Amino acid sequence: MLALSEGFLGLELSVTLSTALVDFFAKWGALELASFVFDKMKDRNVITWIAMFVGLAQNGLAEDASKLFSPIQEKGVAVNSTTLVSLVHSCAHLGFLRKGKSIHVYLIRHGFIFDVVDMTALIDMYAKCGKIQSAESLFNNNSITKDVISFNSMITGYALHGQGNQAVSNYFRMIKEGIMPNHSTFLSPLTACSHSGLVEDGITLFHRMKEDHKLGPTEKHYSRLVDVLGKAGRVEEARALIRKMPFEPSSAVLETFLSGCRLQKNITMGIKVADRLLHLDAMNTAVYVVLSNMYAEARRWDKVDYIRGLMRKHGVKKTPAYSSF
């Protein structure tokens, strides 16, 4: 800080250099330094304001970030749609509905022509801020040509709100309108199927991904389908799916499977999965906790004590308020 102070006392930094410093410090989480440079600047351009805003937003300082948009408006700083989209994304990330709505109003009042990028950002913001109907209304605006990203945002919104049927329906609507899905398209509806108990829909989506669209499922897709099957009590099918994976299942996939085993009280299979997980990482607290809970639910207290003994032996400590995956 002293070096920076001396630098500002000794020479006048250009707007470009100062902005670069604000952006650099903010991205690395050094907000005290970013704010110091920002406050020392006599002149700021739109990039400076946005760099500071996004830095605050990404570091969880929502209240401080929100205070910067008003000065942008008051000082008449020229903003473009790219800038405003950045602000909207930050509001979505923070769940900051009030500020997101004010930016939407600003776009309308200042005559910005909405394109698919602007609309998608707003859809994402409203969905993540709990206003799925507002997101849906924007999405159904026929004046904007939709693309795979806007469809993905709407499908994700439905998934976030537990509306599995709508998420699946929008996938089929997407296909009907001639828009080809990508890998991201299938993640949200698979999650929605899991939460909504839409097992057959989840299986259909997974197979359509491979057979109709020639998209190879990733680890995340397998994990989501394992979750769909596990929650529906179809543990053997989930096990068969894991065995058919074209690559070694990761801890994430196996942990999802273990959660399914616990949910269905399948201790025998749960033990096998837990053993495999602990071979991958003997310090995985979550595995010990889930296994201990499974034994406790079955009232097998001797096994609960055994698991706790293993945890002590390996120096594994349960995180406070931590219970399972």
pLDDT at 266: 92
pLDDT at 221 over 90: yes
> For residue 77, what are its two tokens?
């700083």
pLDDT at 306: 84
Q: How many CB atoms lie within 10 A of CB 110?
A: 11
pLDDT at 60: 66
pLDDT at 9: 45
pLDDT tens sequence across 162-189 = 999 999 999 999 999 999 999 999 999 9
The topology under which CATH files domain 241-325 is: 1.25.40
Mean pLDDT, the chain, whole residue set: 85
pLDDT at 1 over 70: no
Ordered by start, the domain boundaries in the chain are 146-217, 241-325
Range from 150-159, 189-198, 239-248, 282-291 carrying the lowest mean pLDDT: 282-291
Q: Determine the longest span between alpha carbons in the chain, in angstroms.
A: 73
95 vs 318: which has the higher pLDDT: 95
pLDDT at 226: 97
Distance between CA atoms of 45 and 282, rounded to whole angstroms?
52
Percentage with pLDDT > 70 across the chain: 89
7 vs 296: which has the higher pLDDT: 296
11 confidence band (pLDDT: 50, 70, 90)? low
2 confidence band (pLDDT: 50, 70, 90)? very low
pLDDT at 237: 96
Percentage with pLDDT > 90 across the chain: 43
> For residue 306, what are its two tokens?
């055994």
> For residue 143, what are its two tokens?
């004046």
pLDDT at 63: 67
The residue-averaged pLDDT of 297-312 equals 85
What is the number of residues in the chain?
A: 325
The residue-averaged pLDDT of 123-146 equals 90
133 vs 296: which has the higher pLDDT: 133
Positive or negative: CA dihedral 12, 18, 24, 28:
positive
The residue-averaged pLDDT of 41-47 equals 82
Distance between CA atoms of 127 and 154, rounded to whole angstroms?
8
Range from 43-47, 211-215, 218-222 carrying the lowest mean pLDDT: 43-47
pTM of the predicted protein model? 0.78
pLDDT at 151 over 90: yes
51 vs 253: which has the higher pLDDT: 253
Residue 22 has phi, psi (to 5 degrees) of -60, -45
Distance between CA atoms of 257 and 269, rounded to whole angstroms?
10
